[in-house]
Every structure is written in C-alpha cells, then in structure tokens.
Amino acid sequence: MKDINFPIFKTKSDTYKKFDLTNFDQRQAYFEYKTGEEIKKLREYLKKNTFVVYLLGKKGSGKGTYSKMLKEVIAPDKIAHFSIGDMVRSFDEIIGDEKKKKELISFLEKEYRGFVPLQDIIKSLENRSTKTLLPTELILALVKREIQKLGKKAIFIDGFPRDLDQISYSLFFRDLIGYRDDQDIFVLIDVPTSVIDERIKFRVICPLCQTSRSLKLLPTKKVEYDKENKKFYLVCDNPDCSGAKMVTKEGDELGIGPIKERLSKDEILIKQAFSLNGIPKILLRNSIPIDKAKEFVDDYEITPEYCYAFNEKEDKVEVIEKPWQVLNDEGVASNSLMPPPVVVSLIKQLVKILNI
C-alpha cells in the first residue's frame, strides 16, 4: 500500500518441515511449530486479561479469516470475532419480527444517544441500503447490545471504524464495553487490489447448495471441460449435494469494478488510522515480492494457483498447480500468501505489543 511501509515478516523455518495448510490438524501442528512459545504466552495471558482489536483492511482483505484462524488456534472460548456488517444484516430479521423489534426499540430508548430521532433510526433500519452508513451513535449502541452477550473475552472487531469520523470513537470503545484496563490495538491489513479482484472474478457457487469455491484458487475434486464453449468448470463436491455445475455469481465477472469507491475509501481510512498516535498498530501483508519469497517464507506458505489443460487423447482435464503471482499496488511482481503465515505474523506482533 502506498504511503505505508508494511514490512515483510519472516516465517521461513531454519529447519524445513512441510505442512498442508488446508488441513485442520496439520494447520494446528504448523502453528505450534512456528509460534509454539507465543501461543503458550497468549493462552496464559487470556486466563486473566483481554484486549480489543480493530481490524482495518479493504473489503475482501481477509479480516474475518485471520481473526477466526487466530481464535481457532489460541483459545476459541476466550476470543470472539465480531463483524459489524453481520450485526447490521441480522437486524433485517429483527425488524421483521414485531416482538424482537419491540425489544430492540426498548433497548435503544435507554441506550441510544444521537442527533437523529429514534423513529427515523428505525426507518433507516427498515429501509437499509448497503451504500448508506448508519449513524455512528446507533452503531455504538447496537454493538454494546451485542457485546454484552459475549462476556469477558478478547474481541476482534471487524468493520469499525468504517468512516473517518468514527476513528476517534473507536479509541474510547473499550470504555463503552467495560474493558477499561485492556489494551486496544489497530490491525492494518495490506492486500493488493489485484488479489481482491481475482478472488471475486474466479469465485463460483453451486446453484443447489450455495457452496462457494474458486476456479483459480480453490477448485473442487472434479474439474470438467465444456468443449462447445471451450471453458473449464468445477463440479460441486459437497457430500450433501448432488454435484451440480458451479457457476459465477451475477456481477462477479466485473471483479472490483462495483466496489472501487469502497476500496478507495478503505485505503484512506487505513492511512488515517496509521497516522494516529497513542494506539499500537500491527501491520499485516498478504503478499511478498517474488524476489524475496525464498528468503522470507517456506514454499508451501505461498498461495497456489490452479490452471487447467484438456488432454484430448485421454479425454480428461489435467490440473496444474503453481505459485500464485500477482502485481501489488506498486506494480511489483509478488506472491500471495496463504492465511496461516499472515496469522503467524499477527500472533508474534500481538505478543510483542501485549508485552508478554
């Protein structure tokens, strides 16, 4: 990302040991191998302490993936990932249920403090548009309501702050939720726009069970070739599905086109947060320049890309796996990283900031 120097974090082992990072058990063994001591320190810390982390990254940068993976490996019962977007979307159901709607209004009458009348707030929830941000004061009240259900846990907040005027609110957020002695931390994530673009363009779903995969990055076990249209496609391998041809979701072929404005705004927000004093920051990067890869990461930590060739003689599709190469936002040829090495960086930086 321009204007911010996201350092390259070394995860390469002195003694090479290969893990399948798509396998749960091997992924757990990988984390123990790479960050065993840090994991012990965090688990011990969380027995008596918590922290509040604000995840800041472009849409599709992996905020939820990284925090959920950390939770999975450290202490699932001591860490919570909280998505503002998921929370707001959940209120669609609440507004449609008179009893739940009444409970929500009763809560907001006690907790909401803002300039917009409450009746207008309810209307905005009823007619919510993803392009319109809800008032910050409302978000604070709703988040307080949800976090009360979580109990005393370390919290990764995904989606707040969402706008420049919300950054100052986030700095006092731990007071609002009663974590007065806890460390608050910004986690800033750098993902090349090209990575987000290709993730969207190559995403496919099963029309029957809605299972999601990627033709380029996460194929199913069965890949077939449409000879008439000269295109490769995936066949759903969900055991509970009948195996339908997976298709591109409407609009995905446009890539980042429809969300360019959102991505630009996200980048400005990250830069603004980076310039703040008084709050520690963790810098995560999803990619590494190709000429640095061998020095800093093990080969299996690089995201694989899948290409296909049709063998006419044997009438079958051949799958070719190779390291995924992209151009970062500075135009440098780079490899995209798998989520686990990014989480290794997160774990090590978190331990350093918490001084444990």
Q: Would you state the pLDDT for residue 160?
A: 73
| Distances 166 to 28, 51, 102, 242, 272 between C-alpha atoms, Å | 36, 19, 28, 47, 11
Could you state, in chain order, the average pLDDT of each consecutive group of 10 residues for the chain (356 residues)? 87 95 95 97 94 90 92 94 83 79 84 81 69 71 80 85 62 57 87 94 94 94 93 93 91 92 89 85 96 97 97 93 95 96 97 95
Q: Would you state the pLDDT for residue 147?
A: 78
Structure tokens given for 151: 């109990």
Q: At what angle do helices 136-147 and 84-95 cross, to 10 degrees?
A: 90
The answer to whether the Cα torsion of 304, 307, 311, 316 is positive or negative is: positive
Q: Would you state the pLDDT for residue 180?
A: 52
| Distances 256 to 70, 267, 292 between C-alpha atoms, Å | 27, 14, 28
Give the separation between CA 284 and CA 291, rounded to whole angstroms.
19
What is the end-to-end Cα distance of the chain in Å, rounded? 30
Q: Would you state the pLDDT for residue 127?
A: 73
Q: Would you state the pLDDT for residue 175?
A: 58
Per-residue b or e along 206-237, where b marks 16 or more CB atoms closer than 10 Å to that residue's CB: beeeebebbbbbbbbeebebeeeeeebbbbbe
Query: Domains of the chain, with CATH numbers?
Result: 24-78+153-354 (3.40.50)
Please state the separation of Cα 246 from the chain's center in Å. Answer: 24
Q: Which of 261, 207, 350 is nearest to 59 (CA)?
A: 261
Q: Write phi, then psi, for 322 (nearest 5 degrees).
A: -155, 165
Peptide bond connecting 161 to the previous residue in cis, omega within 30 degrees of 0: yes
The one-letter code for the residue type at 228 is: E
Q: Which of 329, 308, 334, 60 is nearest to 203 (CA)?
A: 60
C-alpha atoms less than 13 angstroms from C-alpha of 91 in its C-beta half-sphere: 26
Name residue 80's beta-bridge partners: 155
State the burial class of residue 36 (Cβ atoms within 10 Å of its Cβ: 0-12, 13-18, 19+): exposed
Q: Would you state the pLDDT for residue 301?
A: 98
CB contact set of 62 (below 8 Å; sequence gap of 6+): 189, 191, 286, 339, 342
Q: Would you state the pLDDT for residue 227?
A: 92
Rounded to the nearest 10°, the torsion over CA 79, 356, 24, 63 is 60
Q: Would you state the pLDDT for residue 1?
A: 73
DSSP state, residue 55: E
Q: Write phi, then psi, for 113 (nearest 5 degrees).
A: -135, 110
Q: Would you state the pLDDT for residue 174?
A: 58
